[in-house]
Structure 1
Amino acid sequence: MSNPVALDITGMHCAGCARKVERTLNELSSLETAEVNIALNRATIRPANAKGIQDAINAIDGLGYKVQPQSYEFVVEGMHCASCVSKVEHAAADLSGVLKVSVNLATGKVYIEALESLFDQTELRNSIKALGYSLASTSAPSPENDIKEHKKPWLQSGYLLLAAIVLCIPLVSPMLGLVHPFPALEQFLLALPIQAVLGYRFYRGSYHALKSGYANMDVLVALGTSAAFFYSLYHWLAGSGGGLYFESSALVMTLISLGKWFEERAKRKTASALDALLSLKPQKARVWKEDSWSELAIAEVQQGDRIQVRPGETIPVDGKVIKGESELDEALITGESEPQLRSSGDKVITGSMNGSGTLEIEAIALGKDTALSKIIHLVEQAQAGKAPVQQLVDRVSAIFVPAVLAIAFITLITWLTLGYDFEPALLAAVSVLVIACPCALGLATPAALLAGTGVAARQGILIRDLNVLEAAQKIDWVFFDKTGTLTRGQPTVTETYFKDEHALAATAALQSSSEHPLAKAFVTYAADQQIKATGIESFKARAGKGVEGIYQGQTIMAGSQSWFKELSIRIPEDARLQALTQRPGSLVHVAMNQQWVGSYVLEDQARDDSAGAIKALHERQLKTGLLSGDRNPVVESLAFELSIDNAKGELLPADKVSVIKEAQSQGLHIAMVGDGINDAPALAQADIGIAMGSGTDVARESAAITLIRPQPALVAAALEICRLTRNKIKQNLFWAFIFNIIGIPLAAFGLLSPAIAGAAMACSSVIVLTNALLLQRWKARN
């Protein structure tokens, strides 16, 4: 399956719009899948071929909406003629995500419109360089400016709304008994600007919807207000003496538009966590170039560059401190509230706020490869997805507007059949049209997802798979890996027993080729003993068993007692070795040419918050288990120390999977927490896989939830925010449905005026979004 591509869309106003776009995209043969999120105004597609993206953009344009690309501006040095311009344009146009390219030879600038999720500035720089030119500088919009620009249309809508409210006051005053009714001409002149200017977006949306064979919220609003407005206009011009409802059309249009304005503001707030992460991306860095510090655009920074970060500035790249000492505030990235001391040799991450010291760092990761960019990508992916319950909502949304139109028509006919005049029948039908709110229904799930996944990210919890929102409610057991999960993952060698120095040096050489924390501990021990750790060949790691290689022509292996037993390698039973087996640590045996040559013990301490993490799970009535490849005495000792309910040691990766499968076969629902390659199969098998952020990429890719901070206490917090988010979705769906279930019959029976119906429609969306925003107050308990 191809990689997902995000398309930001302008012009969608309700769930009907989103449903229309999603259905149209899924009908394209050049796309594998397509999902549309109304809260983000975004479509996430998976192209089946090279035409997929352009076909999707064309289809969206055909529906009356627009794909919103990101605009970039670059300065290219070295162009001299029209041929240069043509080459640069073609090179840029061939890059992923680029939709439009324009090059100005006079100014030396290239203007690009591209899909931000695909466009890579480093790729552009390399392409331009390959042509013999150079990208001297960039002036791409900053995240802060991008956020401000996103708000501008709604600022302008606010001015229009203010004008509409001013025009509505004279129309509404007679309804309140404050003044006598105005003449028909004055009512018409007051209502016309509202109907024409404020209503333009609804008419335009209706036109494109109906042209494409769909009906959405715009159709309901345009049809309802137009019926009241033009019916009044007919009576006035015909001089029939019938009732005038200019105030109803104007007030309904104003109230619904006011509700949409508040809705957009609330939608921006639900996405504020992502905005906060985006705003952490620095645009410039101070780099050591040609014997002086130069301020460069971040796109010009290269891997290995030396960068200076002064007090109060933001770390611009992922890197390693090479000079200086300072405390860094990483709260917005990792959720860690306390500043972290960083000095020479320590790693730093993009977006961290520097404290009082000056740091010099070496750039290690740039652009999309930084930890911050990966976090943003994960959050965006989660927020663009759909919770399982959304499938039901999508089915309801697909028939909602047509059903409302049918109910309104039936209402009109029924009133007339019962002998009522046309005016009350029309008002009842109009009330049905304007109270029906597909917006609230469409926003119920995505608004809660935005708020829930966003606040979780701020607390150091990345939710990658939205299916966990359902699964989290059913969890019975939480299984943990030991090393690096419940323990610090920084074991130390506490005792050794080797036949000679040669065996010790061979072991150091073997373990120096491994990335496992237990291997690194022995390498550190060897270095302290001034033992040279080089010379290994043909290194191999045996998952869950140990490692082996060739040292000076001899086969050497180090691993567990069970592996040695499997290989029929005899281990001595002398008193000294028996004493080692009694130590509360991991016992590793070493053999050369199938003969035992030594053993050593490694001990690892439990993390400070491990006991509290287990207690928090027990308080939620969850059982806990420990699954480890370590020796049973070590595993049982840690389980006793932390009050874990069940512990199993000496397990291979396949054994961990078997334990989880056995529990699932008994009807239990399992969460697995781990950090290593060995844990990946178990993380994938569990109902919910939770990976520690300090672990391997394989573990993180196999897990539905990633904890940025390696703190077991976040496990209970992750399950809690999943539960709270799901509850918010259910609450939002209740409010969305209750407004329509109660409101539509009341309107059909003539118990609601169009103005009250319009206010109720606007109110429903605001209530749903405000309810979702309450999630942003949540904080993980440590």
Structure 2
Amino acid sequence: MAVAETTRITLPVEGMHCAGCVGRVERALAAVPGVTGASVNLATHRATVEGEAIEAGALRAAVEAAGYASPEGATEIGVAGMTCAGCARRVERHLAALPGVNAASVNFATHRATVRHAPGTVDRAALESAIRAAGYAPVAEAVPEESAGPAAPPGAEEEAGLRRDAAIAVALAAPLFMVEMGGHLVPALHHAVSGTAWNLAQLVLASAVVFGPGLRFQRTGWPALFRGAPEMNSLVALGTLAALAYSAVVVLAPGLVPEESRHVYFEASAVIVALVLLGRWLEARSRGRASAAIRRLLDLQPPVARVDRGGEEVEVPAAGLRAGDVMRLRPGERVPTDAVVLEGESHIDESMVTGESAPVRRGVGDAVVGGTVNGAGALRLRATAVGSGTVLARITRLVEEAQGGKLPIQALADRVTLWFVPAVIGVAALTFLGWLLLGGGVAQALVAAVAVLIIACPCAMGLATPVAVMVGTGRGAELGVLFRRGAALQALQGVSVVAMDKTGTLTEGRPALTDFLPAPGFDEATLLPLIAAAESGSEHPVAAAIRAAAAERGLRVPVASNMRAVPGMGLRAEVEGQRVEVGADRFMASLGLDVSPFAAEAARLGGAGRSPVYAAVEGRLAAILAVADPVRATSPTAMSALRAMGLRLAMVSGDNRRTAEAIARPLGIGEVEAEVLPDGKVEAVRRLKGRGALAFVGDGINDAPALAAADVGIAIGTGTDVAIESADVVLMSGDPRGVATAIGLSRATLRNIRQNLFWAFAYNAVLIPVAMAGLLSPVLAAAAMGLSSVFVVGNALRLRGFAR
């Protein structure tokens, strides 16, 4: 009796503090089916598990169920040689079978595998071995060199090879095709070229095609077939070699074939190879266009930067910049890396990051992003982040991760393609036997069987989802919408409720002077500098907003003296010999001042959720003003767009209900969850989720749990890193209109995927019976097969035209 192989898996465990924790984790692991032994080391925070047929995913789930964490890592590796979705599925199975692997996903469009595993449990060598065992080749990691110049785009080498092979195959197959087709149109030509000499010439040309450019099909198709895992190459190899071999027997040993079946199909074997290679080249070319968004991002960084070194301005490669380097930027140049402005003022085109075309003013102290374009001003900058730490690098990583992800909708195509090719070979065999039994002859049976093999290639099925995801996420990046996870594309299109945080999402997130009404005898230009001077010693947000308003208006703020805060009331100070008092209505009352002349204005401000502040000068009531967090200028448009999409809107805010509703009402937001503490936001999100799939939009640290709890978390990119890391979608511009853009793009991408899947399945469902009936020649089958893949990729490329 065979003995099951014992597997040992080591995985990290976080959150343990004592021997009791160790015991709980060990008991949890020991209870997993197949585990024969579990040992947990508190000092190293690692668990070692032995057993038979155990999976890392089940162990990790057991650790988490016990109340601890087992962090997961991810490794990406390129895979060469895949030609259909069945290939990707086979590589996935081999990678997933490795000890320590929690999940493996292979993207046929990008030819990359993403393997999720416990940190330190799987190395690259094991992954490469698994890929080779599946019959494919791992792609070596590229070592960047500064002197190497711009890297070739992904897939460029593959495309060049396919273009070369397709050109050779077409050149060799053209005489066969033209003579064969010309013979049907011009009988004299048919008689002129018939005979043994021409048949031998056909044999040479067809063999040169099948064993020259077409050798790639034979090299990979037959080993896959012998392993019991046939794929697309197997179909082409079987079909072309069968047609070539049969025709060779007719020419070289005609006695072995009945006289009525002595037809040759050299042109079919050669033209099939030529057409399949041509289709693959067009497909690879289209896939390259689909991944162009990544290349455009990578090309944004300028090759050199001007840096102050030892008092001199020198040019250095941008890749050699260090944090803290001081750089000079001339008008019209690209910013070399993320930096802060030290000197100068200019307008920066940040459309590559935010998707917004209007340049943004940047001056001393402002941050600028590497890859953005400077306007007419000259700037002196200090580098704050370089290399992989820049915003551009982060965007590129997010887009790559999203493009490599799998959507749930792809599961159907994966299940079908897993069994599709073996089933097609079976159908081709039955077709061959059926025609023989019906008396169609060997030649007719062979033609029908070869047509079935060629027409049934599942390439279009495998490309239907990943290419659309590539184009959709790439277009999103160009519009300032980053899908951190590919699956968010599918989840977002099903959302029916959008819940918005208030502060920093619908509003600017910083207090500003919103109202200023002077009393008779006073004017704003005179009063505001006095009030700003009185507030100069206060750290209160109201004081900061008043000072900012004076600065924005270009007013000179004098120096104040004898500043004194009055607790719970306000403050007083002397400014240019005048006594200035600023505070609430009760402070004015304590000074013996009547605020009733401003009663109507105070009521209006209160109704708008703003608290009025009064100012007095030399014992006279001088003005009423209000400071509030203003609504973003684009919030009304954003909410209108979401309502037009049929979505229900809600607001979740920690502010008092009056203030929250004063913001929500004019924006048309029907549901308001107000006075919610940070941990209460999660409960609010859960309540709202009961009414439909929910997207939550937020920007702060206190929004991170709610972003994670929602069906789809959308982070304002100008917010905190914690919020961004907790979200599924990031709006780089901080503009709430991006929510409608993200949902619209999600709907368009899923609609495109459904169209692609329908075409791919319908194509096979319709044409396989036609081929079985002998109504489709192998040559036309090859052309249709190639066109189906090109059609699917071309349809996906239409997403590049999506507009916000």
- TM-score normalised by structure 1 residue count: 0.78
Contact 2:679 2:705 in 1 (8 A): yes
Is 2:734 the partner of 1:710? yes
What does residue 360 of structure 1 align with? 380
Aligned-pair distance for 1:245?
Answer: 0.4
SS in 2 for 1:304: coil
Cα–Cα, structure 1 residues 45 and 518, in superposed 2: closer, same or farther, change >3 Å?
farther
Which deviations, in whole Å up to 9, do the C-alpha atoms of 1:376-417 show, x marking residues without a partner? 111111111000111121111111111111111111122222
Match of 2:160 among 155, 164, 171: 155
What does residue 175 of structure 1 align with? 181
Question: Which stretch of the first structure deviates more once superposed, 219-228 or 475-484?
Answer: 475-484
What does residue 700 of structure 1 align with? 724
Is 2:730 the partner of 1:725? no
Is 2:424 the partner of 1:404? yes
Is 2:455 the partner of 1:435? yes
What does residue 170 of structure 2 align with? 165
Aligned-pair distance for 1:764?
Answer: 0.8
CA distance in 1, matches of 2:267, 2:776: 15
Is 2:204 the partner of 1:193? no
Is 2:766 the partner of 1:749? no
Cα–Cα, structure 1 residues 238 and 334, in superposed 2: closer, same or farther, change >3 Å?
same
Query: 1:39-54 counterparts in 2 under 5 A?
Result: 39-48=109-118, 49-54=120-125
Contact 1:72 1:141 in 2 (8 A): no
Match of 1:609 among 630, 634, 656: 634
Cα–Cα, structure 1 residues 658 and 588, in superposed 2: closer, same or farther, change >3 Å?
farther
Cα–Cα, structure 1 residues 520 and 429, in superposed 2: closer, same or farther, change >3 Å?
farther
CA distance in 2, matches of 1:744, 1:283: 53
What does residue 436 of structure 2 align with? 416
Contact 1:479 1:673 in 2 (8 A): yes
Cα–Cα, structure 1 residues 494 and 232, in superposed 2: closer, same or farther, change >3 Å?
closer
CA distance in 2, matches of 1:524, 1:357: 24
Cα–Cα, structure 1 residues 156 and 36, in superposed 2: closer, same or farther, change >3 Å?
closer
Aligned-pair distance for 1:654?
Answer: 3.3
Which deviations, in whole Å up to 9, do the C-alpha atoms of 1:77-114 show, x marking residues without a partner? xxxxxxxxxxxxxxxxxxxxxxxxxxxxxxxxxxxxxx
Amino acid paired to 1:57: E
Cα–Cα, structure 1 residues 141 and 778, in superposed 2: closer, same or farther, change >3 Å?
same
CA distance in 1, matches of 2:512, 2:644: 33
Contact 2:536 2:547 in 1 (8 A): no
CA distance in 2, matches of 1:55, 1:625: 49
What does residue 10 of structure 1 align with? 80
Which deviations, in whole Å up to 9, do the C-alpha atoms of 1:37-71 show, x marking residues without a partner? 01001111124335432200122234443332344
CA distance in 2, matches of 1:287, 1:710: 31
What does residue 621 of structure 2 align with? none
Aligned-pair distance for 1:505?
Answer: 10
CA distance in 2, matches of 1:343, 1:169: 65
Aligned-pair distance for 1:281?
Answer: 2.9
Amino acid paired to 1:14: C
SS in 1 for 2:243: helix
Aligned-pair distance for 1:258?
Answer: 0.6
The structure with the largest alpha-carbon Rg is 2
Is 2:99 the partner of 1:33? no
Contact 2:405 2:487 in 1 (8 A): no
CA distance in 1, matches of 2:560, 2:478: 45
Which deviations, in whole Å up to 9, do the C-alpha atoms of 1:178-202 show, x marking residues without a partner? 5324520111122122111111111
What does residue 471 of structure 1 align with? 491
Contact 1:30 1:52 in 2 (8 A): no
What does residue 129 of structure 2 align with? 58
Cα–Cα, structure 1 residues 67 and 279, in superposed 2: closer, same or farther, change >3 Å?
farther
What does residue 78 of structure 1 align with? none
Amino acid paired to 2:665: F
Is 2:676 the partner of 1:651? yes
CA distance in 1, matches of 2:695, 2:266: 60
Query: 1:551-566 counterparts in 2 under 5 A?
Result: none
Which deviations, in whole Å up to 9, do the C-alpha atoms of 1:313-344 show, x marking residues without a partner? 32111001112333322222221112223232
Contact 1:435 1:743 in 2 (8 A): yes
SS in 2 for 1:139: helix
Is 2:243 the partner of 1:204? no
Aligned-pair distance for 1:359?
Answer: 2.1
Query: 1:369-380 counterparts in 2 under 5 A?
Result: 369-380=389-400
Is 2:753 the partner of 1:738? no
Cα–Cα, structure 1 residues 529 and 397, in superposed 2: closer, same or farther, change >3 Å?
farther
SS in 2 for 1:222: helix
What does residue 86 of structure 1 align with? none
What does residue 100 of structure 1 align with? none
Question: Any unmatched runs of 5+ in structure 1?
Answer: 75-137, 512-516, 533-554, 559-570, 590-599
Aligned-pair distance for 1:156?
Answer: 4.0
Amino acid paired to 2:199: A
Match of 1:384 among 382, 404, 423: 404
SS in 2 for 1:198: coil
What does residue 618 of structure 1 align with? 643
Cα–Cα, structure 1 residues 207 and 370, in superposed 2: closer, same or farther, change >3 Å?
same
CA distance in 2, matches of 1:471, 1:283: 39
Contact 1:288 1:307 in 2 (8 A): yes
Aligned-pair distance for 1:524?
Answer: 6.7
Amino acid paired to 2:237: A
Query: 1:4-403 counterparts in 2 under 5 A?
Result: 4-48=74-118, 49-72=120-143, 138-142=146-150, 145-147=151-153, 150-173=155-178, 174-176=180-182, 177-178=185-186, 179-180=189-190, 181-182=193-194, 183-210=198-225, 212-240=227-255, 242-403=262-423
Amino acid paired to 2:685: I
SS in 1 for 2:498: strand
CA distance in 2, matches of 1:274, 1:477: 32
Contact 2:155 2:284 in 1 (8 A): no
Amino acid paired to 2:152: D
CA distance in 2, matches of 1:733, 1:51: 35
Which deviations, in whole Å up to 9, do the C-alpha atoms of 1:331-381 show, x marking residues without a partner? 222211122232322211011122333322100011111111111111111
Number of residue pairs the alignment of both structures matches: 657
Question: Which stretch of the first structure deviates more once superposed, 28-37 or 720-729?
Answer: 28-37
Cα–Cα, structure 1 residues 14 and 343, in superposed 2: closer, same or farther, change >3 Å?
same
Question: Any unmatched runs of 5+ in structure 2?
Answer: 1-70, 517-530, 552-556, 562-566, 571-583, 614-624
Cα–Cα, structure 1 residues 530 and 319, in superposed 2: closer, same or farther, change >3 Å?
farther
Contact 1:224 1:430 in 2 (8 A): yes
Which deviations, in whole Å up to 9, do the C-alpha atoms of 1:135-190 show, x marking residues without a partner? xxx42553xx322x842442343233223222222212232425324520111122
Aligned-pair distance for 1:674?
Answer: 1.2
CA distance in 2, matches of 1:639, 1:779: 28
Contact 2:535 2:547 in 1 (8 A): no
CA distance in 1, matches of 2:74, 2:610: 43
Question: Which stretch of the first structure deviates more once superposed, 615-624 or 601-610?
Answer: 601-610
What does residue 628 of structure 1 align with? 653
Which deviations, in whole Å up to 9, do the C-alpha atoms of 1:238-257 show, x marking residues without a partner? 03451110001011111111
Aligned-pair distance for 1:293?
Answer: 1.7
Identity %: 41
Cα–Cα, structure 1 residues 316 and 430, in superposed 2: closer, same or farther, change >3 Å?
same
Cα–Cα, structure 1 residues 469 and 50, in superposed 2: closer, same or farther, change >3 Å?
closer
Aligned-pair distance for 1:268?
Answer: 0.5
Aligned-pair distance for 1:587?
Answer: 6.0
Aligned-pair distance for 1:264?
Answer: 0.2
CA distance in 2, matches of 1:623, 1:394: 35
CA distance in 2, matches of 1:613, 1:741: 44
Which deviations, in whole Å up to 9, do the C-alpha atoms of 1:450-489 show, x marking residues without a partner? 0111101100101123333333333222221111111112
